[in-house]
A and B are shown apart, each in its own frame.
Chain A
Amino acid sequence: MAEGTEAEGLVFHPMDQFVVKPLFGGDTIAWHTPTNVTLWMAVAVVCVILLFVVGTGRRAVVPGRVQSVAELGYSFIRKMVEDVAGHDGLKYFPYVLTLFLFIVFSNFLGLIPGAFTTTSHIAVTAVMALLVFVSVTVIGFVKNGAGFLSLFWISAAPLPLRPVLALIEIISYFVRPVSHSIRLAGNMMAGHAVIKVFAAFAPLILFSSLGFLVTPLAILAIVAMYALEMLVCFIQAYVFSILTCVYLRDALHPHH
């Protein structure tokens, strides 16, 4: 009995929420098809505009509620860029702020039940991570010329060790965009899938005699995971932008 009813309880797959679907019906997806991904990306951009353009439009000396939230986010990221990337890294602060705001809004919008988490797709995060990787490499070569290669040649290490370390450094440099993108996408996907797994156990009280034990636990677990996810959403956006700053610091000051 237990097996049959449990199969009935799990009527949806926990990964179903990450399927990209066209918004206006149909099956084929071309590059110009509006999908649920494009919709939620647009919603994230609109939210950023609402907060930063409309919210600070009046520019009061004594800020209102929306303006103070915008100012808080602005000064938080600005301080982070200055602390991590150094004073000359402030030139790239608008880029880091854009990345952070887009990621943080995508993450939090994805927490709305029924919404789509755009940052849970590696395709989305890989584009952001590759852009960071390419621009950081270009900045490094433009600012330091061939001196940027000293990032891989660690002069503090003993001479026989240096070629080995150079190899390791080169590998870790090229793995950066991979880990940078997968960290964000994996965290988002894992958290949402866990919530969905518990959601599948929640209606068990309707199907099974053991449901009165499982259902309250499942609902409690959903609430706890949701709270954790709210923390993770912010921390992952923070980590993405702080790692961008770390890579920028390496590009601006490659000498260890």
Chain B
Amino acid sequence: MELVAATALGKYIGAGLACTGMGGAAVGVGHVVGNFILGALRNPSAAAGQTATMFIGIAFAEALGIFSFLVALLLMFAV
């Protein structure tokens, strides 16, 4: 009985801890966009050609946050 309670507890704690990884993705995406804007303000004429690159960078940074979200979901609903 205690083991069942401990498993449930660990599941919720683990899901919460996994969600902290999304904070890292937030920092990463903010870093990408912030640096893009910094560069775009210095050279606005070159900015339009680099938006696609920015989105690729956002996508790569964001994927890892989505992974941690997935771990949280797996802990909550699949384990």
The reply to whether B69 and A183 form a contact with Cβ atoms under 8 Å apart is no
The reply to whether A183 and B52 form a contact with Cβ atoms under 8 Å apart is no
Question: Number of B interface residues, CB 8 Å?
Answer: 14
A238 at the interface (CB under 8 A from B): yes
A178-212 CB mask vs B (1 if < 8 Å, else 0) is 01001100110110000000000000000000000
Q: A239-B55, A242-B56 are in contact. List 17 more A-B contacts (CB 8 A).
A: A83-B52, A84-B52, A182-B66, A182-B67, A182-B70, A183-B59, A183-B62, A186-B66, A186-B70, A187-B66, A189-B73, A190-B66, A238-B55, A242-B55, A242-B59, A243-B56, A246-B56
Q: Give Cα A242 to B70, complex, Å.
A: 23
- Contact partner of A183 (CB less than 8 A), chosen from B49, B63, B73, is B63
B76 (CB) vs chain A CBs: closest residue: A15
Contacts A15-B77, A80-B52, A83-B52 given; does A239 touch B69 at CB 8 Å? no
Chain B residues in the interface with A (C-beta under 8 A): 49, 52, 55-56, 58-59, 62-63, 66-67, 69-70, 73, 77
A and B contact pairs by CB, cutoff 8 A, 19 listed: A80-B52, A83-B49, A179-B63, A179-B67, A182-B63, A182-B67, A183-B59, A183-B62, A186-B66, A186-B69, A187-B66, A190-B66, A235-B55, A239-B55, A239-B58, A242-B52, A242-B56, A242-B59, A243-B59
Q: Give Cα A83 to B56, complex, Å.
A: 13
A47-99 at interface with B (beta carbon < 8 Å): 80, 83-84
The CB with the most chain A CB atoms within 10 A, among B49, B55, B56, B63, is that of: B63
Q: Give Cα A84 to B59, complex, Å.
A: 15
Main secondary structure of the interface of A (DSSP, over half): helix
> In the assembled complex, which residues on chain A have CB atoms less than 8 Å from the CB atom of B63?
179, 182-183
Q: Give Cα A57 to B8, complex, Å.
A: 59
CB of B58, distance to nearest CB on chain A (Å): 7
Chain A residues in the interface with B (C-beta under 8 A): 15, 80, 83-84, 179, 182-183, 186-187, 189-190, 235, 238-239, 242-243, 246
A246 (CB) vs chain B CBs: closest residue: B56
> In the assembled complex, which residues on chain B have CB atoms less than 8 Å from the CB atom of A84?
52
CB of A8, distance to nearest CB on chain B (Å): 22
Q: Give Cα A80 to B59, complex, Å.
A: 16
> In the assembled complex, which residues on chain B have CB atoms less than 8 Å from the CB atom of A183?
59, 62-63, 66
> In the assembled complex, which residues on chain A have CB atoms less than 8 Å from the CB atom of B62?
183, 187
